[in-house]
Structure formats: structure tokens, C-alpha cells
A and B are shown apart, each in its own frame.
Chain A
């Protein structure tokens, strides 16, 4: 079972991602800021990170740099409202770049693709699971 860490300061968005990713068959970990994200990656098994770049506290790009310092193989998918970050060469190190949307299809595809590339088995969607 692949584990996805969602790093976002927006509590409701965390809930949405948690629900939808679990539904898609992933284990989901949540972090509200950069420091918490780094701690989680250090202590737990994380297969993919979905990272919002623009968060209070630590800058998203900085978090990305530190995450990659810890584990060069860790796929980090940048998920943000800002298309402009695509021009920041630091973000080139990211696995993928997905603009935030109510439609999570693209994000799910990006996660699946990242996992497949690293040989992690595809998750089994759990259609019946709904935390709400």
C-alpha cells in the first residue's frame, strides 16, 4: 500500500485530499506546514509527497529542497495555485507540477505515474470507503 503525504495548510483541502486519496486506495498522511512534513518524512515511510508551495512558515521551495536532501528518490508533486512557480528552476527537481483544482483527476494521475516509475505497486481503489 503506497503512502501519500499531503502537505497543505488548508484544513478543508487536507480533508478533501485525504478522502479522495484514500478512496483511490492510498494511505494518507497529513502535514500542515514544512517542519511537520520534514518530520513525517524522517520518521515514517512515505512513497509520494503532494506539496503546496505557498504556505506560511517555511517556503515551499525550501521544503522541497530539504525533502530532496533527505531522500533524493522521493517523488514530490508540487500542487499549487501559482503557475508562476513553474519558472523557478528549483521546482524542476519536483516530480510533477499540478495546478490546484476541484478536479483531482490530474493529481491522481501524477501520483500514479510517479509510483509506477519507481516500481511501487498501484493501489486498489476502495470505492466503499468514505470517512464522512
Chain B
């Protein structure tokens, strides 16, 4: 029988209400429960059931006057049933709900058409509870005289929503943290999650992140988010205003942060340092105990050391430990130091969940940083390896040149020597000024040229051991310029010598080194067939003593610059392409470096840099002094 009643009430609530006061049928049905004794009438029973419903329930007539309401509705408002019943809906509900919210229209529609209305998750500000979230249902029902009435039920789902909401927030913050691999940004994201109010955060007033520094054995405050004082808080919070900021918007605020020394709570961050060994008191005790600790009366709590109390200046706060895979990461301290809103169990639960997640995120961010550093080191090593590889290819090419030369040289040398030798004999014995003499002479000259190319090849493949003698290169430079002066003049090139006045002594092989200068200067001359400026510099630079040879020719495209020291690379119609390769070898033998820079359109500069011995580099003035003494 109870089942019948139960079903009836569930399926047809309007019918029950309809007949609540005068249904004989129901009465008899309820009394039909055999021999049991009832202490109340069916009306009273139903009244009790309705009174016990947590859902607010109102019946309104055609004029939208309250016919009936249950205690769930009037008791929280401090009213009696009599005070509500008989009143117009306008006297009971705020205009905002009736008009802007559209409740009046919905009620009237249901009265007129019998259409049911279901609003779920409706938010409205209530007088004393702040914002509430409710599910509203409007169903048609019949009044005492069978006239159309409406049943309005209002279910407060604020708490359920809040829990759901908190879970969502936590998820959002967690997601935001997972994407953050840059440590300061991540810390800020976490603290923002702890402090952001309303729709996007846990809503604490302040949050402080302390991280463990294993090397120094301390737990140190790294960052804090929150206002310095109540005035600042109201300012910040009024700026934030409505709740429609997304978490992402809050997180992107990091980019607008002032530098650390100008951030709020700077003093707190600077001074909050505790030894990792101090595990008997907060904040380390939270890590030692592995649980979030809620302090409600800091002044009298033996867990709170005096300096922590002074620095925080809050009576109530929470310390949540951050531990990732048995690694101590740090703690998050949060409080409501401005609003003094009590910290609830739910707040603590959420902070704990967030701190756990934060610990993992910080740990992975640190690993990422480490990995990034290693990746950079790897990239550098790779770069060096590539450089070594290029060098190796270059020297392999040289070795190949050597082999080819060895094989070919003999084959060419002999016929050349024969041709040239006999041509010399003919030229010598021919009539002076005769055509035969002239022609033989031409053969002699051409053979000489070919033999000099062969010499280059042979010298290149087998450089003579160099004999380095401390020398001032300027003498050699001037010699080379004099040697090539006719070619320089023929091309209409202006020569500038820019030498430091102090003597610059470098180890030079006087036999080999001029070949390098000749080679590079010849290249420069060939680059300026229609004139230009040849500038030869000799300077002490931070890298060492440097000879620079600059032309104002067309320059070398960047993609060719790498190859110009390679054997057999040449852009010239004549030449072996060995000159610069040979020069680089010789310069290397001097313990120096030959490099080049070029700008297409403005010219090319070759540099021969002799690295400075350490003792000389320390005291470069000495050499200069010597010229005066």
C-alpha cells in the first residue's frame, strides 16, 4: 500500500496537490492500511510530506497570487506561511527575476497553454546568500475549484554546482599548468589558480610559493601573488570586476607582470627562507607530515614559528606540501588575509589537489629545463662535430690532391722539362732577333708558367717544414706590395696601409708567409680589374695580432664563402684553385687562422689572425711601452 502511495505521489504530484484537502478516496486508501493506527489525517500527512521536501514549492492562481507554499520556501526567509499565501507574485519575487529573468511570462504561458517550463542552472542573486544557482520548474495544475493554477518548484543546486565547478576549475588550472614548461610562468599560473576569484580560481586572497633548494638546504619563497593590503585588494578586485575572465586570460597576465623587484609581496618573498631540516614547525612540517596543514590561530599555534607569523601577518592560513615522486618540491601557502573569510574544508581539499598537481608540473618543468639545456649542449657539440667534419673533408681533399699530384707530376714534369729544355737550347742558339728565337722564347715562358703551377701543386701537397722566427709582418707586407706594384698600378688600384704604430711581432716563416700575402693580394687585384682600394691592416685586436687584406671588389656570395678554402675550388677562368687552400695550410702552420668575410657589392676582406699568447694578452701595453724606452 505504501508503494501505491509512493508511486502516486511521484507520478502525479499535481493530482495529489489538487486533492490535498478534500479527497475522500485518498483518505480511505490511506486508512486501508489494515489495523494500524494513524495519528494524522491524510491532509496532515500530505502536508507533512510537502513540508519535508527540500525543494521550494509554490502554487499560484490565475492572478499569480500565491495559493500555497511549503516551509522550504518561507522558513529560510523568516516568514510564516500566512505571510506569503495570498500575496501577489510581485510581492514575493524580485522584479529582476520576474521581468528580466522572464519568470512572469513563463508563469503566464503555463497558465494559458499548460506548457511545462524547465530552467536548470538558473543563476540569480539572492538577498542574503550571494549568488544562488537554481533549477526552476513550472507545471500546470488545478486550483481548489478546478481553475488552472501553476505549480512552481525551485530547487537550490548551488552547492552541487559549486562542487562540480570546483572540479572544473581544478581541471582548468591543471590543464593550464601542464602546458607550462617555463618555470616562472608555471609558478605564476599555479599561484593565479590559487588566488583568482569567482569563476576561475580557488579564491584565496594570497598565495605564496616556496621551493626547496637542495643545494643550499633551504626552502625559499620564489613567488607570491596577492595584494599587499586591503586597499590594494579592493582596487585589484574591482578592476577584475565581473566573473567572465577566463583562466587563460589570468594566466596571460604573467607577460604584463612588473620585474620581480617591483612585484607585490616582494619583501615577503625575499625574506621567507627556512632550512629544509626544520621539519618540526611550519612550513617544513607540512612536507614532513605529507599533509596540508590548516592553521586557524597562528598567534597561539606552536607549529607556527614567530618569523613565519610575522612575515605572513595572517591568523588563519593553509600550507599544502608539494612532493613529486618522493622529491621535495616545496609548499604553497594560501590565506584570506584581506577578507578574513574562513577557510573551508572544501578550500583545503582543492588546494591540496592543486598542490599535488603543481608538484608534478614543476618537476616536469624542471626536467624540461634540464633537457633543454642538454639539447643546447648537444646542438653545440653537433655544430663542433660538423665543423670538424668539414675540416676533415677539406684535409681528405688535400690528401686526394696529393695522390693525384704524385701520380701526374712525374708524367707532366718530364715532357715539360724536355719541351722547355730544348726550347731554351733553340732560343739560345738561334740568331738574335730572329723569329725562331722569339718563338722558342715563347715556349720557354709558357713552360715556365706550367712548371710553376706544378710547383704549387707539389709544394701544396708537401709543404716544407716551416721555420718560424719572431718577425714584424709589416716588412713582408711592404715587400709584397712592392713586388706586385706593377699589377696594382695597371689595374688602377689605390693601396692603403693601416698599421698600428707599436711593433707587432709574430712567428713567421719568411719563405712561406709571403706566398700567402702574394696569393691574397693577387686575388684582391683580380677582384678589382677596373680599380678600387686595397687596404692592408696590421692591428692588435682582442683576438690577437691581425693582418687584414680588404678589396672593394664585387664580393663573394655567402654560399660560396665556405668553399673558397677548398682545394680545386675556383671561380677564376685561370688558376688551379689551390692558392687559398695552400694559403690556409701555410697560415695554419703558423699557428694562425685564415678567415674571410665578404659583402656582395662592397668587397671582401681576408684576415690572418695570430692568437695572442696568454702572458702577452694580459699586458698588451708592454709592447707599446717598449717603443718609447
Q: Is B424 an interface residue (CB 8 A)?
A: yes
Known: A102-B444, A102-B451. A81 touches B421 (CB 8 A): no
* Interface pick from A11-19, A29-37, A61-69, A70-78: A11-19
Interface range for B = 20 to 34
Complex alpha-carbon distance, A54 and B414, angstroms: 11
Cβ–Cβ < 8 Å partners of B454 in chain A: 81
Q: Is A113 an interface residue (CB 8 A)?
A: no
Does A82 contact B410, Cβ atoms closer than 8 Å?
Answer: yes
Complex alpha-carbon distance, A13 and B459, angstroms: 23
Cβ distance A33 to chain B, nearest Cβ, rounded Å: 15
Does B406 contact A10, Cβ atoms closer than 8 Å?
Answer: no
Does A16 contact B421, Cβ atoms closer than 8 Å?
Answer: yes
Cβ distance A77 to chain B, nearest Cβ, rounded Å: 15
Against A, the Cβ 8 Å flags (1 = close, 0 = not) of B416-435 are 11111111110001000000
Cβ–Cβ < 8 Å partners of B455 in chain A: 99
Complex alpha-carbon distance, A83 and B409, angstroms: 10
Cβ–Cβ < 8 Å partners of B412 in chain A: 81
Cβ–Cβ < 8 Å partners of B419 in chain A: 102
Most interface-central of B414, B415, B455 (chain A CB within 10 A): B414
Does A83 contact B459, Cβ atoms closer than 8 Å?
Answer: yes
Most interface-central of B413, B424, B459 (chain A CB within 10 A): B413
Cβ distance B44 to chain A, nearest Cβ, rounded Å: 125
Cβ–Cβ < 8 Å partners of B420 in chain A: 101-103
Residue of B nearest to A83 (CB): B458
Cβ–Cβ < 8 Å partners of A80 in chain B: 410
Of B417, B429, B458, B459, the residue contacting A102 (CB under 8 A) is: B417
Does A100 contact B417, Cβ atoms closer than 8 Å?
Answer: yes
Q: Is B307 an interface residue (CB 8 A)?
A: no
Of A81, A84, A102, the residue contacting B448 (CB under 8 A) is: A102
Q: Is B462 an interface residue (CB 8 A)?
A: yes
Complex alpha-carbon distance, A8 and B481, angstroms: 42
Does B444 contact A130, Cβ atoms closer than 8 Å?
Answer: no
Does B447 contact A10, Cβ atoms closer than 8 Å?
Answer: no
Does A103 contact B410, Cβ atoms closer than 8 Å?
Answer: no
Residues 81-109 of A at the B interface (beta carbon under 8 Å)? 81-84, 87, 99-104
Residue of B nearest to A81 (CB): B413
Does B414 contact A84, Cβ atoms closer than 8 Å?
Answer: no
Cβ distance B447 to chain A, nearest Cβ, rounded Å: 5
Of A16, A81, A84, the residue contacting B422 (CB under 8 A) is: A16
Residue of A nearest to B458 (CB): A83
Q: Is A20 an interface residue (CB 8 A)?
A: yes
Of A54, A82, A101, A130, the residue contacting B451 (CB under 8 A) is: A101
Of B413, B424, B448, the residue contacting A100 (CB under 8 A) is: B413
Does A20 contact B421, Cβ atoms closer than 8 Å?
Answer: yes
Cβ–Cβ < 8 Å partners of A82 in chain B: 406, 409-410, 458
Known: A83-B462, A84-B462. A54 touches B417 (CB 8 A): no
Residue of B nearest to A17 (CB): B421
Residue of A nearest to B421 (CB): A16
Does A16 contact B458, Cβ atoms closer than 8 Å?
Answer: no
Residues 111-132 of A at the B interface (beta carbon under 8 Å)? 130, 132
Complex alpha-carbon distance, A8 and B410, angstroms: 12
Most interface-central of A87, A103, A132 (chain B CB within 10 A): A103
Known: A82-B406, A83-B462. A20 touches B425 (CB 8 A): yes
Known: A16-B417, A87-B462. 11 other contacts (CB 8 A): A10-B414, A12-B414, A20-B421, A80-B410, A81-B414, A82-B406, A82-B409, A84-B406, A84-B461, A100-B413, A104-B421
Give chain B's interface residues, CB within 8 Å of chain A.
406, 409-410, 412-425, 429, 444, 447-448, 451, 454-455, 458-459, 461-462
**Could you show 28 A-B contacts with beta carbons less than 8 Å apart?**
A10-B415, A12-B414, A13-B418, A16-B418, A16-B421, A16-B422, A20-B421, A20-B425, A54-B410, A80-B410, A81-B409, A81-B410, A81-B412, A81-B413, A81-B454, A81-B458, A82-B406, A82-B409, A83-B459, A83-B462, A101-B417, A101-B420, A102-B417, A102-B421, A102-B424, A102-B447, A130-B425, A132-B425
Give chain A's interface residues, CB within 8 Å of chain B.
8, 10, 12-13, 15-16, 19-20, 54, 80-84, 87, 99-104, 130, 132
